[in-house]
Structure 1
Amino acid sequence: MKSLLIVAGEYSSHVYAEKIIELIGYKINIFYVSPFLSEQVQTKILLNGLSEIGFGNLPNRIAKALNFKKQILELVRTERIENALLIDFPGFNLPLAKSLKKNNSKVFYFIAPKFWIWNYKRVEQLKNFTDCVFSIFPFENEILKKENVKSLYCGNVSKILVEDFKTKPKDIDLLILAGSREAEVKNFFNKFDITKILKSVKFQISALEHLKEFYPNTENLNFGNSLELLARSKKAIVTSGTATLETALLGIPQVVVYDPNWLTFQIGKNILKIPFVALPNILLKKKVVPELLSEDFSTENVLKSLEEINLSNSILVKDELADLLGNQNPFKIVANELLVSLT
C-alpha cells in the first residue's frame, strides 16, 4: 500500500483534510500532521504555535517551524513516505515542499498561496517543488498554467461547503466572525466593543473551541458550525479571509474588517498587488462588500456600515460569484486524483 503525508497547518486546512481523508478511505496509508487531531487517522505530529499572522515574534516562530520541519522529514525518512499532500499554509508548506522534493517525494499542493495578491515568486516555487497544484480559483489556474506549473482547477471549497446551509431561517440579527487565529480574535475584540450592540440587536459570536480563552465573557458565544450560523444570520461582521467568500456565497450582507499589527500593515500596503483584501472584491475585481482596515476599523464605523449594506446587492454578488466558481467538488477531485496517482 502506498503512503501519503498530509500536512494541514490551520483549522480550515484541517477541515478540508478530514473530507479528503474520508473520501480516500483505507486505500492509502496516511500520515497526518496538523495542530488538530483527526477523527479518522492518527495525528503523527501536532503543529502547535505556527498559525500566527504578521511579522511579530518571528525568531520564536522560525525556530518552531524549523524544528517541526525536521520532525516531518525524519518521519518521511523512517516511514519511507514517498508522497505528500500539502494544504494551504504556504509559509511552512512551501519550504517543506522544497525539502520533500530533494528527498524525491511526489508533492501535491491543495490551495495555492495567493501569489496574485503578493509574492509572485511563489509561482516559481510551485513550479519547482510540486508535481501538481490543485487550484480553487479559475483565474489562478490559468495563471499557473501559463507559468508552466502543473495545475488543475478542482472547484472552490467555499462554494461546495455552503451548499448544505442555504435554506436556514433567519433568526440571528447579526453574526460576528472574528477570525480563525489567535491574533485575529485578539485584534478584533481590542477594536470592536460588543457592549455597543448588546441591547440593540440579537447577535451571536461564532467561536472556535481552541480559541475560547480569547473571546469576551458573554452568553452570546456560539461554538456551533459557523456556516450554519451564517446561514441563519441577517447580517455579519467578518474578519478578512475565507469567511468573507462563504458569507457572500450565502447572500448575507457583510462588513469586512481587518486589523493587522502596525508593522504588518505598513509592509503589506506597500507590496499588495490589488486594492482589496476581501475575497468577493478580489474575485469580482470591484468593491462589492465594504472593507474597514487598520485605523478605519472601529466600532462606530462598523455600525455605520452595517446600516448601509442591503440584501438585494448581496444576492447579486452571490449569483456573480456562483457563476464564476462553477460546480466542481474539490474534495472529490483531489481524492480521486490522489487515488489514481498512488494506487
Structure 2
Amino acid sequence: MNYYIIAGEPSGDLHASNLMKAIKEEDTNCNFRFWGGDLMSEVGGDMVRHYKDTAYMGIKEVIVNLGKIKANFKLCKSDLLKYKPDVLILVDYPGFNLRMAEFAHKNGIKVYYYISPKIWAWNTGRVKKIKAYVDKMYTILPFETDFYKAYNVPIEYVGNPVLDAIDNRKNKNESLETFLKRNNLDSRPIVALLAGSRQQELNNVLPIMLLMVKHFPQFQFIIAGAPSFTINDYEPFIKDLDVKVVFNQTYELAQQAHGALVTSGTATLETALLDCPQIVCYKMWGGKTITKLVKRFILKVKYISLVNLIVNKEAVKEIIQDDLNENNVKAELGKLLNDQDYRINIFNHYNDLHKIMGKPGTSSRAAKLMISALKAIPTEN
C-alpha cells in the first residue's frame, strides 16, 4: 500500500520513523511519501519537504513567511492528488495537518491521525474538525483518549511511542564515565538543559536557564542540541560561559544527568521516563496581562507538562511565564540538585508514571491496527 505521512518537527520525525519501520514489517509492499526529517529518510521513501523548511512559529515569523506557507499548502494538496495514497497519516503539527485532513477527506483520501495535537489543552473547538475529517485517531495518552471518547471521535489507544524511542535508544547501557570521556566532558555532575527545538523557545527560555551556570559552579551545564539547530544557533547564548552543546544525544544526556531544566513538551515526558529529576520551564511572549488571559480563556488544563498531566498531580515543578525568573529557578534548582528528600519525592512520582505508561510496542500496535483497518476497507471495482 501507499502511505503519505506528514510530520512537522523533530519529535514527529522520530515517532513517524518508528511507525514507518513497524509498517514495513507488516506490509512488505509498502511505499512512503512524506513531509518530515532525516530519521524518516533513513527508513526510506520519497521526501517532499524537510520540516526545517516548513516550521514557522510565532505571529511575526508566520507573517514574514506567509508566502512560503501558502506555497507549502498548495504543494501538499497537488502532491496528494498526484500520489493518491491509500491513506494519509498525520503526526501532530495541527496548524498544517488539520487543513490537510480536510482537503484529503473532501478528495476521498482516507485520513488517520497518529499523535493527537494538544487540542485538549489549548483549543477544544478543533475537535469538530477532527470528528469531521479524520477517519480514525490513534491516541497515545490515557487522558486524551477519554477526551475524544466524550466527543464520539473514532479512536484506538495504542500506548505512547516515546516508550519505543527510549527502549531503542543508542548507548542504552553506557556508563557515566564513558559518556563523559566520549564527549570530552569533565567529572562534575551534569545539569542537562533541554531548551526546545524552536527559535522562540531559545530566545525566551534558554537565557534564563543559562543564568544558573554562575550559581552552581560545582555542576557542568550541557545543552541538548536540537536537530533543527546547529552550534551557530547556540553560540550567541553561550559565549563566555562554561557550557557545552551535544547533538543527537538527548536521551544519553538525560540518562546521565543529575538533574535537568526542560522546556515544556514531549521532552518532559522523555526526561521523566529516563528517571532524570527535572524542572519544567516555559515562557512565551507577553507579560502579566497575556499570562492571565491565557490561563483564564485559552489554557484548558491544570498543568502544562505531560508528566503532571498523566499522573494528575505536580510530580515535577512547573515554572512558567512571569514566574520564570532567575531567583525562582535558582531556588528550585538548588533543591532539585541537593535536597535528597526532594529528589526521592520526584522518583516516587516517576514510579507512578512508569506504571501508567506501560511497556514499549506502540509503533507496532499502531501499524497493525492501521493496516488491518485499511485491509478491511472494500475496494471499488
- TM-score after normalising by structure 2: 0.82
Aligned to 2:18: 19
Alignment-derived partner of residue 108 in structure 2? 104
Residues 245-300 of structure 1 deviation map (CA, whole Å, 9 limit, x = unaligned): 11122222111101111177465323111232111122222222111112221233
**1:174/1:18 CA distance change after superposition, 3 Å:** same
Alignment deviations for residues 149-182 of structure 1 (CA, whole Å, 9 cap, x no partner): 1101100122333335676545642111111222
Q: Deviation of residue 219 (structure 1)?
A: 5.6
User: 1:6 maps to what in 2?
Assistant: 5
Give 1:167-206 correspondences, 5 Å limit. 169=175, 172-194=189-211, 195-196=213-214, 199-206=217-224
Structure 1 gap segments, 5+ residues each = none
Worse overlay, 299-308 or 86-95? 299-308
Secondary structure of 2:96's aligned partner = helix
Residues 1:312 and 2:344 aligned together: yes
Alignment of 1:54-93 (within 5 A): 54-93=58-97
- Give the greater-gyration-radius structure (CA): 2
CA contact (8 A) 1:154 1:334 kept: yes
Instruction: Name the stretch that deviates more: 276-285 or 28-37.
Output: 28-37
Q: Indicate which of 301, 318, 324 corresponds to 1:297.
A: 324
Residue 153 of structure 2 is matched in structure 1 by 149
- The equivalent of 1:232 in structure 2 is 256
Relative distance call for 1:207 and 1:197 in structure 2 (3 A) is farther
Percent identical: 28
1:332 partnered with 2:350: no
1:227-247 Cα offsets, whole Å, 9 max, x none, are 111011110010111111111
Which residue pairs with 1:249 in the alignment? 273
Count residues in correspondence: 342
Report which stretch shifted further, 156-165 or 219-228.
156-165
Q: Please say if 1:269 is aligned against 2:269.
A: no
Change (3 A) 1:325 1:14: same
SS of the residue aligned with 1:152?
strand
Structure 2 unaligned residues grouped into runs of 5+ = 178-188, 337-341, 376-381
Q: How far does residue 35 in structure 1 lie from its aligned partner after superposition?
A: 5.2
Select 1:284's aligned residue among 306, 311, 329: 311
Q: Structure 1: which amino acid aligns with 2:332?
A: S
Task: Give, in whole Å, the separation in 2 of the partners of 1:202 and 1:24.
Answer: 41
Paired with 2:57 and 2:294, the residues of 1 have a C-alpha distance of 12
Distance, in Å, in 1 between the alignment partners of 2:176 and 2:329 is 21
3-state SS of 1:286 partner: coil
Q: Secondary structure at the residue paired with 1:262?
A: coil
Instruction: Give the Cα–Cα distance (whole angstroms) in 2 for the partners of residues 8 and 28 of structure 1.
Output: 18
Match of 1:38 in 2: 41
The correspondence for 1:139, drawn from 143, 150, 153, is: 143
Contact 2:315–2:350 (Cα < 8 Å) also in 1? no
